[in-house]
Structure 1
């Protein structure tokens, strides 16, 4: 039964549908894995084994004709996505014990599809870090090396899935928060086009510039599982102004091959490790072997996109949170105080600066999309390096100093662009840490990113961390 938890979600569903295993048996396998590993990894913000067992028994008793696409699949949800009956505290003492009464739209869709929600997963306070740590639940650790972070802000989610404690789940991403954790823990993820998976019910709301930057995205061990989650949960939410009525598309391999792919190993400013470069080249070679045209190409707008991301995520983010944290900094986690200190070095935006930045974002997105006409798909790194040790904030790579937020700039560009971006594990560092690559498509072309990422995933794919597999 211990090996069952590492099966892809699509395989677990096949076994459930064929009655090879019951929902209760599958749930018990996950309970055993959680009880063995969660004390070491600390991934959950809310988990109750008896609650889950009760739900599993009810699912086993449900009529066959009432069972949805995900019937009985054990999944987790980041604790910043409203899940009725579960703690969703955004990693903050300010929200300790908060339990929503209503589901986010995407969680309601999970339940309607029959998913078995295991619990909610840990995140950094207010989501503003690439590590998962807070004063409320503490530090989440990476199953590949517990001295290292699984990333943030969806770090609890990525660690749970990588370690076989969850078959799949939901994170959210305004600056790489489903992609960096996937890269750090050796799993797959998708930051969709904002609104393709509805964002209503995210905590805090994805409003203002975050309606472009932010998206709720699926995470799993294979791209087939990520695509299953995307297809099950996507679709317009007519009360969400960012959610467009875009129909799902089925693309053949030949249709996918019609998209030229531009690849680059760095942005010309920030170096990456040799193994990261090699991973991008391996992914490019695998796509060429599969019949794709893959050529060197790098948009000229990357640094401008990154500067605008900084304006909106760092400066606007701090301005959004200022009323909540005013007068209460003693209750804030060190990791969130670190974010505030970074923001304060830049200072708040004036009204004119904000207006000009918002206008510039539209112009810059247009220029980038013009440049991507020849190469509508991009292949590039996720970060300069694999998972770092808890608290590390500076590294020397190729003889150059790389600082904290610069090391993950490779994801930030595509939040400003509002583009779908998938992550697939490809390589390994000298310490045997996973290294992912990023496949990016034009806005609303999520199925293209998913389809091409799946080709890469079939060539490389998930491996279980030794401690999670019992080694």
Structure 2
């Protein structure tokens, strides 16, 4: 088996190959290190190689040889966004302010994957403080999309998405405040899952507060990998008060479906303008689910039309996040701050009246989705309004309408504001050869529904098996 072939196996396959002694953890680790050496100079997804990665791979190989019980990810390399703490490995949060920072302990999400035998291979690039839709910062520079180096892999988990898409890692962890797992997954054509808020603890991820819209989630090249990761990541930890969901999601096996699932599909209104190729991909996915036996119909969600979720989020999050930025940057020189932190610190505060109205709008959105999921099992919709865009874009022209670049979040942020689970997966390709993903959303705590539907789509995806030509 060639090393280039090995780097495009998914994590589930690699774990099985290791378990059955067809490959060794050392071979797998070396193949991924070689891949990083080969392609990362152009992509710049990796910011740190874990110093003990090969040593841990040798220990994992010894465990296989000795016949010890093996975890579900034994010997499998993983990558971790550089805002997520990793013991003994640089975690610099995309800022010179945190340059050289080495945590003493792993984030809970990292510890749960390594507890199942995974080995941290590398940390991946991100925007300063995880706060942008493009992964660029003063400390480790800009990441490029492996499908087209002139395009962004997104943010804030853009280094993570680029690394996985380019075969540098089979599985990783990102964080998602408004878009940051699902959007980068869409820009690079991989799978990203934002579970129900509170399903996975955020302990060990900066900032500690606020956390009510923030999620940590798995990113991979297959639906079964994010399902496996979710089954390992979920559950309270006794430290994150939001992480209070005690029931299992049955993520590894999916939902036992005894009736046709009802799926509503929506391109607009409610998300702003959508590129025609993205809209066509969503409709193709709807047709595929219909052919698979689901009851599928176009829908409208009045709550999304009444309260534009992106505007609601913008009015809420500045007041909540600004204090964390101010505390982190207090007393620091201006040349230590990049445009993300400067923009947040300069943003006008929301008036109390507008903040209260935004809170009420968020409740109306939750109620609107509660009504929708009383009648449907899932929602199928876009992830992004357009395929991966060029670096540094400040506005887009989408379907004849000019919008601010923040509109890239318009179809993802409703599910942060409401805490609903949402999955991003590829189902198409643009006329420029760029990935187009669709988004599957289910009711709170019903991750098994989106994973089941995503598996059905994955099996018939016209983009299945495609990889960047690097």
TM-score > 0.5 by shorter chain: yes
For normalisation by structure 1, the TM-score amounts to 0.93
- Alignment match of 1:191 (pick from 190, 194, 199): 194
Distance 2:377 2:200 in 1: 21
For normalisation by structure 2, the TM-score amounts to 0.93
1:169 aligns with 2:172: yes
Q: Quickly say closer, same or farther: Cα 1:336–1:147, change in 2 above 3 A.
A: farther
Aligned-pair CA distance for 1:457:
1.4
The answer (yes or no) to whether the contact 1:186–1:462 under 8 Å persists in 2 is no
Write the deviation string for residues 398-435 of structure 1: whole angstroms up to 9, x where unpaired.
21112201132100111001000001101111110000
Aligned-pair CA distance for 1:356:
5.2
The residue aligned with 1:384 is 385
Distance 2:226 2:375 in 1: 27
- Alignment match of 1:310 (pick from 301, 311, 314): 314
The residue aligned with 2:123 is 120
Distance 2:447 2:293 in 1: 20
Distance 1:107 1:360 in 2: 35
Q: Quickly say closer, same or farther: Cα 1:389–1:252, change in 2 above 3 A.
A: same
Q: Quickly say closer, same or farther: Cα 1:271–1:350, change in 2 above 3 A.
A: closer
Distance 1:314 1:276 in 2: 30
The residue aligned with 2:38 is 36
Write the deviation string for residues 202-235 of structure 1: whole angstroms up to 9, x where unpaired.
1112x34x32x11100000011111111112212
Q: Where is the helix percentage greater, Structure 1 or Structure 2?
A: 1
Q: Matched residue of 1:411: which SS?
A: coil
Aligned-pair CA distance for 1:355:
5.0
Aligned-pair CA distance for 1:269:
6.1
Counting only pairs closer than 5 Å after superposition, residues 4-19 of structure 1 correspond to structure 2 as: 4-19=6-21
| Equivalent residues, number | 459
The answer (yes or no) to whether the contact 2:207–2:324 under 8 Å persists in 1 is no
1:237 aligns with 2:237: yes
Counting only pairs closer than 5 Å after superposition, residues 204-243 of structure 1 correspond to structure 2 as: 204-205=207-208, 207-208=209-210, 210-211=211-212, 213-243=213-243
Distance 1:466 1:247 in 2: 35
Write the deviation string for residues 158-193 of structure 1: whole angstroms up to 9, x where unpaired.
000000000100001010100000000010010011
- Alignment match of 1:80 (pick from 80, 83, 88): 83
Distance 2:272 2:356 in 1: 29
The residue aligned with 2:286 is 284
Write the deviation string for residues 126-156 of structure 1: whole angstroms up to 9, x where unpaired.
1110000000000011100111110000001
The residue aligned with 1:420 is 421
The answer (yes or no) to whether the contact 2:271–2:410 under 8 Å persists in 1 is no
The residue aligned with 1:334 is 339
Distance 2:226 2:359 in 1: 32
Distance 1:215 1:173 in 2: 5
The residue aligned with 1:89 is 92
- Alignment match of 2:136 (pick from 124, 133, 136): 133
Write the deviation string for residues 413-461 of structure 1: whole angstroms up to 9, x where unpaired.
1100100000110111111000000000111111111111111111115
The residue aligned with 1:273 is 275
